[in-house]
């Protein structure tokens, strides 16, 4: 997993729960890195899970919620760092370009990156399907990201899980425009 | 949280950050290094690339130069077109070949210089290449150069492919005109060859150097009977006749040296083993001076050969015939000179062939016949053939008679070439001819002498003979003693025999000298025969032989012929018969054999019950002087000339005397001759102008109920030599009419059952017959007559009838019916002489002299007449009197006169009612009549 995810997470935790919580999490987990992450680095995703798990424990927030929250937050991180990728007309177009364009560019620079697969399917003008596939099973995170994207594109949407397969390795999401 | 606590956290966080930074820097550096390395590599690569590029470019340039050179200097046309076929480049050779400058062609489609008829095909071809992406093709086509010359081009075309698509064509083309021409010529030549080969009338074969079959036409296959598979590579000797192998080899040598041979004749054997005569012409094929084989034409000459053989045989046959002919053959040309003399002629004349050829035939001709030969020569010029006799001179100088059959002869175009004569030595025959003529002359002379002698002798011999005969007869009647009587009888007999003999001899010599001919006179056959019988009956009677006479009914009475000769023959035959018959009879029989045109063929037979004649004796019986055996004349006498004379006489009459006989049974001499019928209807009697009918031929039907009348009519007709059938009434008559074809009907009017009028009506209307009918009418009233004619009767005759009148009427009707035209006949007019009251004349006439008939008539009349007379005198009833008169009328008609006849009619018609004198007169006369009749009757008894 790319370092940016870790740094972003810790930023969020610090932001939301304070620096102490950060330390608590780091101390509680068995981290090879001892909690030292740089955004340009690459670290074992298991550490991420550990930390998320610990945070959930400590703060008694279910993991999915945490992940969603983080996802939404993380989108803005990404949008700040890589505005080029967000240069799309609307949310749906953007979502469609994740797999084919964004992640492809990422892989060029970071060939070793482990990225989830997003297969998009347009149903109609206001609905689309997005199929999340990843061995890290972080579909909640993906949902959060989507919401973050929706915020970015200032479009109200509703994300629905219509299929949940292989313990979360494949999840089919339906995203519907809400005309607010 | 306390600030110290917070600080701790921040310190820890700061530491983490520092570490993170350091890590980040580390990552960055490594990345920079990586970048630097990659960059360096890229740079060197780039340099390499540039170098390589330069090299490659140079190579390309060099290659292009080479290529250019190649293209420019090539002796083949090279050009390039774009995708549409427009020329983008053409090399100098192309310019040369096409005649166009590059500038003239660039941008234009190359197909423009292609010959028009080929353009489309070519365009299609290349379009196809383009479409199907065929990299390389070869194509041949004609172009028209700038000079208008046609050139054939053969080109390889490549597609130019850039970026995976075709952008144009490269073409490398060659001028192949010569090759194409050659090809065509070769093709034509091949075709010609094939046609000749296949179409040849004869078999054509090609053999290789080893003399094996390489090629052959179908005719050859058929001829030899082998299949193509079998023929291929077969050696010629396999089919040659083994006897011809040597000859064939000799010809092969000739082939090698001369290069050909012709008219080799030999035999081949077909697959089936059949031998075929062939004629071969062969031409050798060479290559570099060595024979590679031959082409042979093989002709089946089997037929020709057999024809030749036949001709030779025929020629030989005719030559043999002509050479060996007994007749001398000589050919003379148009110039009149002998051009060919066959051996037979040479033999005939003694000259040799050389002595004759070129000479003039007149040289050997007897001078008497020069004009004959000249005439015949003229005939030949006209194309006439004929036969003639001349004398020719042999070498020895001796003349011989020859008969010459001369004819012209022509060449194939039909031009006269000369004449040919067939000579036959007829010296022998000529000698015979002359001898015969001499002999004939002598014979004639001798015959003449003989005749004269006979004529003289006849008189000279007969006179004394007659004297002897006559005197001896006279002597016989004088007073003689027994011895003298014996001597006289002998003298008499001898004289008689001699006389007979002399007569016979004279007869025979007359017949032989042809002096006797048959005469043609009218004679009555039956009368002639009667005279024959009467002249022969004496002898027969003396021998107590029955001599009878049978004559066919169908024979006429009168014929045209030589009755004298017939008599002579018959007398001779009958005399013979009588002579040779001791007991029994001799019958003269005449039969009608057949009916001919106006004639009858009559068979005369003389049959006897005599001793008969032996079969072998029959053969010579008609010969002069022959008798059955030499004892005959001793026993029976006779000269033996009789039959011979009879036979000759019969042949003069147109018949042939024949005999058949059975020993001890009898003999029959017979002959058949044709005698012309004396015309049946009209034999004009010079004495009267009356016409006679052959009554025996006329079929008459008399329909009459009264028996007296029947009898009278029947007898009358009989006197005319005719006959009639009788019917008692009309009904009977009709029955008889249905059975017989009558010529005429005599019909009475009043009859029971069916009367005359009714019968006639039926005959005319129902039977549709137009048979002539004569009515016997009771009175001469016009009303009666009209009634008869009305129902269709042809004539009427009143009763009693006049015989002549009836005869004439019948005659008239029959003639009319037969000839369709009437004849004007002279009628005998009825005489009106004062007649006696009683006359037997009529009765006599109709009875034909039959006294019994007359007696009967008179009896009837007398008896009946008395009764009727009595009754008439006492009766008061006029009707009864009339009836009685009617009853007695027929008899009165036959025996009384005209006056009485009309009287009885008047009484019958009741005329006496107002005139009683009439009745008185009648009765008085009747009484007298009866008396006279009675008187006459007494006389007959």
Residues of B in contact with A29 (CB under 8 A): none
Residues of A in contact with B12 (CB under 8 A): 23
What is the nearest CA distance from A167 to chain B, expressed in angstroms? 34
Q: Which residues 16-55 of A have a C-beta within 8 angstroms of B?
A: 18-20, 22-23, 26, 34-41
CB contact under 8 A, A38 and B10: no
Of A20, A23, A37, the CB nearest to B20: A37
Substitution target in B4, B9, B11, B31 with the highest count of A β-carbons within 10 Å is B9
Q: ∠ at Cα B590 (B588, B592), nearest 5°?
A: 170
Of B12, B20, B24, the CB nearest to A23: B12
Please report the pLDDT score of residue B629 as a whole number. Answer: 60
Q: Each residue of B570-593: b (16+ CB within 10 Å) or e?
A: bbbbbbbbbbbbeeebbbbbbbee
Picking from B845, B829, B859, B825, the residue whose alpha carbon sits closest to that of residue B934 is: B859
Q: H or E stretch including B256? A: helix B245-258
Name the residue in chain A with its Cα closest to that of B17. A36
| B23 touching A (Cβ < 8 Å) | yes
CB contact under 8 A, B1 and A20: yes
Work out how many CB contacts closer than 8 A connect A with B: 37
Cα distance between residue B304 and residue B316, in whole Å: 18
Name the residue in chain A with its Cα closest to that of B28. A40
| B538 touching A (Cβ < 8 Å) | no
CB contact under 8 A, B9 and A39: no
Picking from B224, B212, B210, the residue whose alpha carbon sits closest to that of residue B298 is: B224
Cα distance between residue B826 and residue B688, in whole Å: 9
- Three-state secondary structure of A55-117: HHHHHCCCHHHHHHHHHHHHHHHHHHHCHHHHCCCCHHHHHHHHHHHHHHHHHHHCCCCCCCE
Please report the pLDDT score of residue B606 as a whole number. Answer: 94
Please report the pLDDT score of residue B37 as a whole number. Answer: 93
What is the nearest CA distance from B85 to chain A, expressed in angstroms? 46
Q: H or E stretch including B626? A: none
Cα distance between residue B329 and residue B324, in whole Å: 10
Residues of B in contact with A41 (CB under 8 A): 23-24, 27
Query: Residues B596-643: pLDDT tens digits?
Result: 888 889 999 999 998 888 888 887 777 765 566 656 555 555 556 678
Please report the pLDDT score of residue B438 as a whole number. Answer: 92
The pTM for the full model equals 0.30
DSSP track, B506-529: HHHHHHHTT------EEEEHHHHH
Name the residue in chain A with its Cα closest to that of B1. A20
Residues of A in contact with B13 (CB under 8 A): 14, 19, 22-23
Sheet of B773-777, strand order = B723-727, B699-703, B744-748, B773-777, B795-798
Residues of A in contact with B23 (CB under 8 A): 36, 38, 41
Residues of A in contact with B2 (CB under 8 A): none
Of B1, B16, B23, the CB nearest to A35: B16
Q: Which residues 24-43 of B have a C-beta within 8 angstroms of A?
A: 24, 27-28
CB contact under 8 A, A36 and B1: no
Cα distance between residue B123 and residue B125, in whole Å: 5
Average pLDDT per block of 10 residues along chain B, 941 residues long: 84 90 91 91 90 91 87 85 87 87 85 77 84 86 86 88 86 88 90 82 88 88 88 88 87 86 88 89 88 89 89 88 79 90 88 90 91 91 90 91 91 88 88 90 82 69 74 79 84 77 71 73 83 79 84 84 87 88 90 87 92 82 65 58 84 91 91 82 41 76 84 81 89 90 88 88 88 82 81 84 82 69 35 68 76 82 86 84 87 84 87 80 86 83 66
CB contact under 8 A, A38 and B20: yes
Residues of A in contact with B21 (CB under 8 A): 38
What is the nearest CA distance from A5 to chain B, expressed in angstroms? 14
pLDDT in tens, chain A (180 residues): 888 889 988 988 988 888 888 888 998 888 888 889 998 888 888 898 889 999 998 889 898 888 898 889 888 888 888 888 888 888 888 888 888 888 888 888 888 888 899 999 888 888 999 999 998 888 888 999 999 999 898 888 888 899 888 888 999 999 888 875
CB contact under 8 A, A40 and B10: no
Picking from B725, B759, B729, B728, the residue whose alpha carbon sits closest to that of residue B744 is: B725
CB contact under 8 A, B9 and A40: no
What is the nearest CA distance from B40 to chain A, expressed in angstroms? 19
CB contact under 8 A, A38 and B27: yes
Name the residue in chain B with its Cα closest to that of A37. B20
Of A23, A34, A38, the CB nearest to B24: A38
Please report the pLDDT score of residue B640 as a whole number. Answer: 63
Of A20, A34, A38, the CB nearest to B9: A20
Please report the pLDDT score of residue B843 as a whole number. Answer: 80
Query: Phi then psi for B527, rounded to 5 degrees?
Result: -65, -40
Bridge-based pairing state of the strands B795-798 and B773-777:
parallel
Picking from A89, A8, A28, A92, the residue whose alpha carbon sits closest to that of residue B20 is: A8
């Amino acid at each position: 997993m790319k370092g940016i995810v870790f740094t972003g997470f810790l930023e969020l935790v610090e932001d939301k729960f304070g620096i102490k919580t950060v330390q608590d999490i780091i101390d509680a987990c068995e981290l090879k890195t001892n909690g030292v992450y740089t955004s340009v680095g690459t670290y074992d995703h298991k550490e991420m899970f550990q930390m998320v798990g610990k945070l959930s424990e400590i703060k008694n927030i279910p993991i999915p919620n945490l992940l969603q929250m983080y996802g939404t937050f993380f989108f803005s991180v990404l949008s700040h760092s890589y505005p080029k990728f967000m240069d799309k007309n609307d949310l749906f177009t953007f979502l469609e370009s994740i797999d084919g364009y964004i992640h492809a560019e990422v892989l060029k620079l970071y060939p070793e990156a482990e990225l989830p697969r997003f297969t998009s399917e347009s149903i109609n003008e206001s609905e689309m399907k997005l199929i999340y596939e990843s061995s890290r099973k972080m579909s909640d995170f993906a949902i959060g990201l989507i919401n973050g994207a929706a915020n970015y594109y200032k479009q109200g949407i509703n994300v629905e899980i219509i299929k949940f397969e292989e313990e979360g390795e494949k999840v089919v999401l339906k995203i519907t425009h809400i005309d607010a | 949280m306390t600030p110290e606590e917070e600080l701790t956290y921040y310190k820890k966080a700061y530491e983490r950050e520092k570490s993170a930074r350091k890590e980040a820097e580390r990552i960055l550096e490594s990345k920079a290094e990586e970048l630097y390395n990659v960059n360096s590599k890229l740079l060197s690569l780039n340099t390499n690339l540039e170098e390589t590029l330069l090299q490659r470019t140079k190579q390309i340039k060099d290659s292009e130069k080479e290529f250019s050179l190649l293209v420019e200097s090539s002796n083949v046309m090279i050009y390039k077109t774009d995708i549409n076929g427009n020329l983008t480049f053409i090399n100098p050779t192309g310019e040369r070949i096409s005649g166009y400058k590059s500038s003239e062609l660039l941008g234009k489609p190359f197909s423009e210089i292609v010959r028009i008829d080929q353009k489309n095909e070519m365009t299609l071809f290349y379009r196809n290449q383009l479409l199907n992406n065929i990299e390389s093709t070869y194509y041949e086509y004609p172009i028209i150069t700038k000079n208008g010359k046609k050139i054939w081009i053969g080109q390889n075309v490549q597609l130019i492919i850039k970026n995976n698509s075709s952008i144009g064509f490269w073409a490398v083309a060659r001028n192949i005109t010569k090759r194409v021409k050659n090809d065509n010529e070769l093709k034509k030549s091949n075709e010609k060859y094939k046609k000749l080969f296949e179409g040849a009338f004869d078999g054509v074969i090609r053999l290789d150097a080893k003399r094996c079959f390489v090629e052959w036409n179908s005719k050859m296959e058929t001829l030899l009977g082998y299949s193509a598979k079998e023929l291929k590579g077969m050696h010629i000797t396999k089919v040659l006749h083994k006897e011809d192998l040597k000859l064939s080899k000799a010809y092969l040598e000739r082939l090698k040296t001369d290069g050909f041979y012709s008219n080799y004749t030999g035999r081949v054997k077909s697959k089936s083993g059949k031998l075929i005569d062939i004629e071969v012409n062969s031409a050798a094929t060479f290559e570099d001076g060595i024979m590679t084989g031959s082409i042979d034409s093989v002709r089946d000459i089997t037929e020709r050969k057999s024809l030749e053989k036949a001709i030779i045989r025929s020629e030989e046959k005719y030559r043999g015939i002509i050479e060996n002919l007994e007749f001398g053959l000589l050919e003379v040309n148009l110039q009149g000179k002998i051009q060919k003399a066959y051996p037979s002629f040479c033999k005939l004349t003694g000259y040799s062939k050389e002595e004759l050829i070129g000479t003039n035939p007149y040289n050997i001709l007897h001078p008497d016949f020069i004009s004959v030969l000249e005439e015949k020569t003229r005939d030949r010029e006209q194309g006439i053939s004929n036969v003639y006799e001349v004398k020719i001179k042999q070498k020895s100088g001796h003349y011989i008679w020859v008969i010459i059959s001369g004819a012209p002869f022509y060449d194939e175009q039909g031009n006269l070439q000369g004449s040919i004569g067939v000579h036959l030595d007829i010296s022998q025959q000529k000698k015979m001819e002359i001898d015969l003529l001499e002999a004939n002359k002598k014979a004639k002379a001798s015959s003449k002498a003989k005749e004269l002698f006979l004529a003289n002798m006849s008189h000279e011999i007969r006179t004394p003979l007659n004297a002897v005969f006559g005197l001896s007869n006279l002597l016989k009647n004088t007073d003689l003693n027994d011895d003298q009587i014996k001597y006289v009888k002998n003298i008499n007999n001898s004289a008689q025999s001699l006389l007979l003999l002399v007569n016979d001899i004279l007869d025979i010599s007359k017949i032989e000298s042809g002096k006797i001919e048959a005469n043609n006179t009218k004679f009555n056959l039956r009368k002639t025969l009667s005279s024959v019988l009467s002249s022969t009956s004496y002898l027969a009677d003396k021998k107590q032989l029955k001599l009878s006479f049978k004559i066919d009914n169908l024979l006429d009475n009168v014929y045209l012929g030589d009755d004298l000769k017939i008599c002579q023959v018959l007398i001779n035959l009958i005399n013979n018969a009588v002579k040779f018959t001791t007991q029994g009879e001799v019958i003269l029989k005449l039969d009608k054999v057949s009916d001919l045109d106006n004639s009858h063929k009559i068979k005369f037979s003389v049959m006897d019950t005599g001793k008969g004649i032996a079969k072998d004796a029959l053969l010579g019986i008609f010969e002069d002087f022959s008798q059955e055996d030499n004892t005959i004349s001793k026993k029976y006498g006779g000269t033996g000339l009789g039959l011979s004379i009879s036979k000759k006489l019969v042949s003069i009459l147109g018949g042939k005397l024949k005999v058949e006989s059975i020993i001890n049974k009898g003999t029959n001499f017979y002959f058949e001759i044709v005698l012309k019928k004396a015309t049946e209807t009209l034999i004009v009697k010079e004495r009267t102008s009356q016409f006679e009918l052959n009554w025996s031929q006329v079929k008459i039907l008399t329909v009459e109920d009264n028996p007296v009348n029947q009898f009278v009519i029947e007898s009358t007709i009989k006197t005319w030599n005719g006959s009639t059938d009788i019917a008692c009434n009309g009904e009977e008559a009709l029955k008889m009419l249905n059975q017989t074809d009558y010529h005429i009907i005599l019909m009475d009017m009043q009859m029971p059952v069916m009367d005359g009028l009714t019968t006639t009506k039926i005959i005319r209307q129902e039977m549709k017959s137009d048979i002539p009918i004569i009515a016997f009418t009771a009175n001469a009233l016009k009303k009666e007559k009209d009634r008869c004619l009305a129902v269709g009767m042809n004539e009427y005759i009143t009763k009693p009838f006049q015989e002549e009148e009836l005869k004439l009427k019948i005659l008239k009707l029959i003639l009319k019916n037969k000839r369709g035209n009437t004849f004007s006949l002279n009628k005998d007019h009825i005489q009106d002489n004062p007649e006696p009251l009683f006359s037997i004349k009529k009765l006599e006439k109709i009875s034909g002299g039959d006294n019994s008939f007359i007696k009967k008539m008179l009896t009837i009349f007398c008896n009946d007449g008395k009764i009727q007379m009595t009754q008439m005198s006492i009766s008061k009833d006029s009707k009864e009197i009339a009836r009685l008169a009617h009853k007695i009328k027929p008899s009165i008609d036959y025996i009384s006169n005209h006056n009485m006849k009309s009287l009885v009619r008047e009484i019958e018609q009741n005329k006496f009612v107002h005139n009683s004198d009439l009745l008185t007169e009648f009765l008085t006369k009747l009484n007298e009549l009866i008396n006279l009749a009675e008187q006459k009757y007494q006389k007959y008894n």
